Structure 1
Amino acid sequence: MNHPVDVLDQVVRDLDGVVCAGSVAGLSDAEKLDLLRAAGEVVRRAEALIVETVASVPARSAGSGDAAFCGQFGCRSMSELLQRVLRTDAAGAGRVIKAARLVRREVDISSGGWLPALWPQLRAALVDGAVGITGLLAATGPIEQARGRVGAVDRLRADAELAAWARGTVVVEMDADADADADPGIDVDEPEPGPAATPEDLRILAQRIVMFLDPDGAEPAEEAAMRGRGMILGRVKNGLIPIHGDLLPETAGQLQRIWDAYLNPKVDGPPLPGVQFVPSDDGDARDGQDARDGRDARDARDRADRDGDVLPSGDPGGQVDTRSRAQKQHDAFTAMLGIAARHDEMPKLGGAAATLIVSVTAEEYATGHGWAHIDGIDTPTTIAAARHTACGGTIQRVLFDPEGRIVGIGSTDRIFTTHQRRAITLRDTECLIPGCHVPASWCEIHHVQEHARGGPTHTDNGVALCWHHHRTLETSGWEIRMDNGLPTVRGPAWWDPHRRWRTPRPRSESTGRSTSTSTSTSTATGRRSARING
């Protein structure tokens, strides 16, 4: 039997003959496609051999006296050894090491036999060349992140399903009540060949499996995402300023919708840089007067005396807003996207405004547990994001039957009108949370009593909140209620130990309230999409 190294040396010589012969350029298109397919088979099997080799290296326990594998060859770590031997970078070496951990098989001390790998079916698919390192990590990554909340039995079931998709085989599940004579050629649970899944397909499938197995994992994911969000401008390089950061799924979804609107073939594309002058009209004059009225109200507020139940808008301790600069810039960018999407000059997309669409099942929306989907973004988001989007948008209920057919469509308008928004902006002047000075004209309008629970779209039920405080209202400890049409707030215990309901800021005589008709919503089951023009 030839040594494995001798076999691989012969493979290398054969490949050299193919590459150096110069015959690739003369192949037909069909032959080139076949060549790429065969090369992919070679690459995946070479990756499987590398991973299996690294996985077979035994771990040396501290104090055992045995030199580590990498130390025997003058390297400080396995990563350094792989970088030198495979001529890859640190990221590539790290992916090999991570893949090796997933498919490593330990020896049973009592029997001396091999124990199954952590992902046995995907390991077999790797060895067979059905999946490479990229596909293996894409399939296991989402489930590994939720590993503490996914049991071993569920993980093995996911392993089998993902491996079947990687091989291009799915299981045909026959209805027990179906007529057996309808198609005698198909047996129950018979594998049906199909196209093999790409690593991106496996990643999306794994995310869907996690959403089913770990519906409560949305909350810790939400906390991690809120901490990690941010945007910064880099240093100038070659006359350009790079942008770095991480966006929340709803922010990325809104940005993608705006890009789609501008890049729509039916429009002229994005506008050229420059300034465009347009004639003024009565509407512009009215908006300008509203802005002046807002500034006058703010000046009157600042001059007014404050009593014990009125909270100053300042924050000397700097405790109200603990966001980093990168997080503030991210949130400001999100608010800018919402304003841009509502602008009259924004191109239409499919005959409608560039609308952020978030879909969630009615049951998960009602309970607050589970995951939601943003149109155009593969990464699932949380129910909190769906609630935040629905608060200022339109809920459209789309009912599906068990087979996925649309059986009903409904819509509930919950957007504050321009006149209502203008009145609330004039009354609140800025974000309602004390210490936050984001102008009300930049804020979102929040339903104090949730619309889904019967809260009306009425000025007596709407307050101005900046994107950040609107997005985090349920978890920040701030509470809002309406007192005879005027909003009052109660701060978290660390900010106000007495937890008293207080007026956020004094009202000037120039502020007033207007009324509008209220609407209510009815309950329904099925999948719904919350839409907001922004």
Structure 2
Amino acid sequence: MDNTAELLDRVIADLDAVLSADVLAGLPDEKRMDVLRVAGDAFRRVEAVVVETTASAHADFSHTFGCRGQNELLQRVLRTDVAGATRVGKTADAVRRQISVSSGERLQARFPALREAMLDGVIGVAGLLAAVGPIDKAAHKVGRETVLEADALLAACARGYRTMFDDPVDPVDVDAGAEAETAEGTDEPGPPATPEDLRQYAQMIAAAMDPDGPEPSDRSAQNQRFFTIGRLRNGLHAIRGNILPDVAAQMQAVFDAQCNPKTDGPPKPGVRFDDSESASGSDSGGECGGDSESAGDAGEGVGADADAPDGDEPFDRRSSAQKRHDALAAALGIAARHADMPTLGGASPTLVVHVDAKDLAAGRGWATMGGSESPIPLHVAAHTACTGAIQRVLFDEGRIVGISVTDRVFTVHQRRAIIARDRECLIPGCHVPASWCEIHHVTEHARGGPTHTDNGVPLCWWHHRSLDWSGWEIRMNDGVPEIRGPAWWDPLGRWRAPRPRAPRHLATA
């Protein structure tokens, strides 16, 4: 098409009109979400234009314009950095259609279904690279047909077909007010997958393609493992090493147990909170685990979490790396005593609801939790109590007239089972590990919901706190969690499986 550049110039002119009108700052929330959604659609299509143009160019294209290679040309014409140009180049390699020497026709791309998804604007560069990375690593162990099958599965997942590859589950309507359907009972697509969703699904497919794939690399890793403590210098010992994945996972579990802000955590100094008006430090302090900082970054990014409520306690100005150091120190000390090692979920908070006896029946009052005398709204109390035990102390004219305790805590064994089943926060797109999450009663305990694995799902702190008003709904279908999301995520409003399940029928060639 001779006027391709002219068509793109029109798009640029339309975007200039949007930006020059200065209307974006005053948009209401719903309109703002619409703009972001449409801009995302346009962004992915622009990426597709760049990738397809690059992939269809001849081998000497970059030399024609005086560049050493494709990467330099992309850096200059796209005004991107080396990493950005490399990502475009890798994507172009995955969807490039070579020219047949005999016929001169374009051959099939390595990932034809994902290429079509990219051209349709379903996925962009990030999504395509996330999908093809794990498959490329296993492709040499299987035949072309298996790779094409994986390509089709990933493209369908990208388009929102999350559970169509397993045997359907018989419909069971567990919600009398909902339509009689299950997450497995429809062939219609749901919300498209995020790059992280595609990466995880691709890893499951790659494992099915090549179950023995990691073994050679594991044997090599065994030979490269080491851990050393350097000499004392400036009051510190430097440590270096390579640790195996299972050792790293165990260490991360210790960090989680020590630093997870929803448990008792490490000895003081710990994380403290105060009103933003009285906090003189930054609120950018990080948590202990789950980031990608290296040991060499321990001296950077130090910020205060918050001031203590009464001003007597010092600021906690530790960085995430420093908190991990302190967690390791505490873990080593506790390991000598062994029986005192903390466990995730073993320190569920006790919520004391302090109200006058006359007000209790009317549902009025405030909650207080151990360690804080600040009044807490009842909805916050309900959120905290969902994962703990409730102790009610009833007062009348200053006199204690009753104490009652209700046990609603998921046991350690129940938590482990739920974590093994769901692995992450149940909300799609949220990849907080389940070991960091709180276990939510799907049917509220106050409404007769049992403390049972069939009634518990992991939710991160934020999604648990905001569940009542965020638009996300959860139900259990014969012990299997299902999600119905807000309209911006799923306009059809269907009950769906939170994540795709691993394919069972892929065979190695």
TM-score (norm 2): 0.49
Give the structure with higher Rg (CA): 1
TM-score, normalising length: structure 1: 0.47
